[in-house]
Structure 1
Amino acid sequence: MIGRIQGTLLEKQPPEVLIDVGGVGYEIQMPMTSFYQLPSVGEQVAVYTHFVVREDAQLLFGFAEKLERSLFRELIKANGVGPKLGLTILSGMSASQFLTSVQQEDVSALVSLPGIGKKTAERLVVELKDRLAKFSRQQETSLPVLPGQEAPSDARVTVNDVKEEALSALVALGYKPAQASKMVNSVYKEGMESENVIREALKAAI
């Protein structure tokens, strides 16, 4: 099991990052709540990971906090929830928000996420409420980001680049292209970076 990776952040293409560890590049998918906490490209970073082996692929999922990884592991044990849906859920709300939604049986908050219908939301509450009770008593511990040298910004990034990157990330998280496009256009303001567009779009969706 690969539980933690530390190295140089080479690429950030939400929801995926590429981290170089001793000359080997690890492609890691992350929920947006963790993605927002990443440093700039070129800096050192460490993430907690969960390794998934399938017949057709080997996938790494990364998290800024151990609590978020623990929740992800509980989520993918639930009936009908795979890694992709687990990633989507933890992109649409923080670990603490998810815990609160389950403990308070707030089905409407869960239904607002892509891929979560009313029946799925109700099943998640039933399956996870007791199992997640222990997490409600834990404090979230942020992962320390290692210091590094900030990479220079690229002034050539255009509005279209920002919107396309945000759109691509939302589609990867399960939103339909038309819905994702509407979300991006509704929150975009001049000068925003793609990560901020994604963050605001996901907030507006809840």
Structure 2
Amino acid sequence: MIGKLKGLVDSFGDDFVLIDCGGVCYTVSCSSRTLQALPRVGEAAVVFVETIVREDFIRLYGFANETEKNWFTLLTTVQGVGARVALSILSVLSPSELASAVALQDKALIGRANGVGPKLALRVVTELKGKVPAMGAVDAGTLGLQAALGEGVASGNIADAVSALSNLGYSSAQASAAVARVVSREGDDAATEKLIRLGLRELSS
């Protein structure tokens, strides 16, 4: 099985890249995020690969890092999520955003991906709940805060701070991560205004 490719970028397609490894070009299907992260044609690239073998084909799926690859594998364990849908989800959500969506049970965020309807989005967040920490996409403190927010049990000052940062245009993942870092230093009884001010400092650093 192919686990990683190191070579030169030969060319790009709408949803794939050709990697030239010593004169042999491999067609690797990728999310749009991975395609955007790859270097230009003719430059050296490293792509982490998941090889899927069927009776009638062998297909390579490529990722910018191990975390994205692990998420792809995890997503495809959900009933109704095949390789194409998994790549679609990874095209619109980074691993940390995906971890946040699952922790917060935010099916609307998952539903932004092409080919993912409300029922499938609900199945994704439901079946993957509790599996996110093993992925190492976000730290335990952030995950704990996101879970508390999703369950409506986060302290009012913390929930208000995350909401305020989100209203300023930051994603829920960014806002909750910033507030979680502040709370770890200042304590969960810090005033809302202080959490927002320090949270903004975290986000701008």
User: Could you say which TM-score interval applies, normalised by the shorter chain?
Assistant: 0.5 to 0.7
Q: Which residue of 2 aligns with 1:82?
A: 82
| Residue 49 (structure 1) aligns with | 49
Question: How far apart, CA to CA, are the structure 2 residues paired with 1:96 and 1:33?
Answer: 13
Give the equivalent residue in structure 2 for 1:201: none
Deviations 1:130-184 (A, max 9, x none): 1122225557xxxxxxxxxxxxxxxxxxxxxxxxxxxxxxxxxxxxxxxxxxxxx
Aligned to 2:108: 108
Secondary structure at 1:36's aligned position in 2? helix
Q: Aligned partners of 1:15 and 1:62: how far apart in 2?
A: 10
Partner of 1:22: 22
Alignment partner, residue 12 of structure 2? 12
| Structure with more relative contact order (C-alpha pairs < 8 Å, separation 6 or more) | 1
Q: Give the superposition deviation at 1:56.
A: 2.1
Gaps of 5+ in 1: 140-206
| Alpha-carbon distance between aligned partners in 2 of 1:128 and 1:25, rounded to the nearest angstrom | 35
Q: What is residue 123 of structure 1 aligned with on the other side?
A: 123
Superposed counterparts of 1:60-75, under 5 Å: 60-75=60-75
TM-score by length of 2: 0.65
Matched residue, 1:189: none
CA contact 2:10–2:17 (8 Å) conserved in 1: yes
- Aligned residue number for residue 201 of structure 2: none
Instruction: State the one-letter code of the partner of 2:38.
Output: L
Q: Distance in 2 between matches of 1:42 and 1:23?
A: 13
Residue-pair matches, total: 139
Instruction: With the length of structure 1 as denominator, give the TM-score of the two structures.
Output: 0.64
| Native 8 Å contact 1:103 1:133 kept in 2 | no
Matched residue, 1:132: 132
Q: 1:145-184 counterparts in 2 under 5 A?
A: none
- Pairwise CA RMSD: 1.4
Aligned-residue identity in percent: 35
Q: Match for 1:26: what amino acid?
A: Y
